[in-house]
Amino acid sequence: MFVQSLNTESLAQYVTKQINFNFPDRVIPVGELIFFMKTALQRTEYCFSKINIKYFFNGKHVFFNHLNTDQYAVFLYYLSNTIWNEISDEKLASKVYYLNKALHSLDIFYEIKLPDIFLLVHSVGTVLGRGDYQDNLVVYQRVTVGADKNDKYPVLGKGVTMYGGSAVIGDCRIGNNCLVSMGTIVMDKDIPDNMVVFKRNSQILYKTTKKSVIERYFISSE
């Protein structure tokens, strides 16, 4: 069962008021957003149903609280991306993306394709740019993912956790079940599966980890 803090119509009114207040160049009617709400909420419900945290899923109910900033940030990303996918309305998608950026200091452009299952944790200052993302991604604050000056972008495997201040840039292949430690910047470097990546004396090193990202944060489908 999906438990929403606001029903779909009230949520549409809420988001519309935020957009019109912040971007008053054109008043957007509620009906223009509610058309995309169903798909965005379905994507949100599916994502949260796979997260093993009681504020998201308690084994019986999936929760979406518009006043939980990590949850609301995910929803706004899905909404902007849904608008872009369905009608390619650049102005409307931009406003939802911009609202997410203004409210959460989070930069996920509406064209970016994030996985169906991911978790944001205290996402202030995070930029998720061009990359190939897989399910069970966990992203903390001040994380950066993106292309280099040659337009090469990283590929992240399933079950990657990026801790605060870490970055993955350029032509990288980050394996499945990898943890990128706080403040570690990986650029143009491949990392095998099941590794914890860390910085020591300006060198990027990695060692095998027995920890499972999926077991810690998610409900395994296997």
**DSSP H/E element including 2:** strand 2-4
For residue 142, give every residue at least 6 positions away whose Cβ sits within 8 Å of its Cβ, in sequence order, or none.
124, 125, 126, 164, 165
For residue 16, give both structure tokens: 């519309």
Q: Which amino acid is at 48?
A: F
- Structure token digits, residue 176: 């499945």
When pLDDT is averaged across residues 2-7 and rounded to a whole number, the result is 97
Q: What are phi and psi of 200, to 5 degrees?
A: -145, 120
CB 78 within 8 A of CB 18: no
Q: In 3-state terms, what secondary structure has residue 80?
A: helix
Condensed to tens digits (0 to 9), the pLDDT of residues 35-75 reads 899 999 999 999 999 999 999 999 999 999 999 999 999 99
**What is the rounded distance in angstroms from the CA atom of residue 213 to the CA atom of residue 112?**
23
3-state secondary structure at position 78? helix
Q: Where are the domains of the chain?
A: 2-104, 118-212
| Tokens representing residue 135 in the block | 């399910």
Fold of 118-212: UDP N-Acetylglucosamine Acyltransferase; domain 1 (2.160.10)
Element containing residue 86 per DSSP (H, E): helix 69-87
Average pLDDT, the chain: 96
Span 78-95, mean pLDDT?
96
Using one digit for the tens of pLDDT, what is the confidence trace for 197-221? Answer: 999 888 999 999 999 999 999 997 6
pLDDT tens per residue, range 99-152? 999 999 999 999 999 999 999 999 999 999 999 999 999 999 999 999 999 999
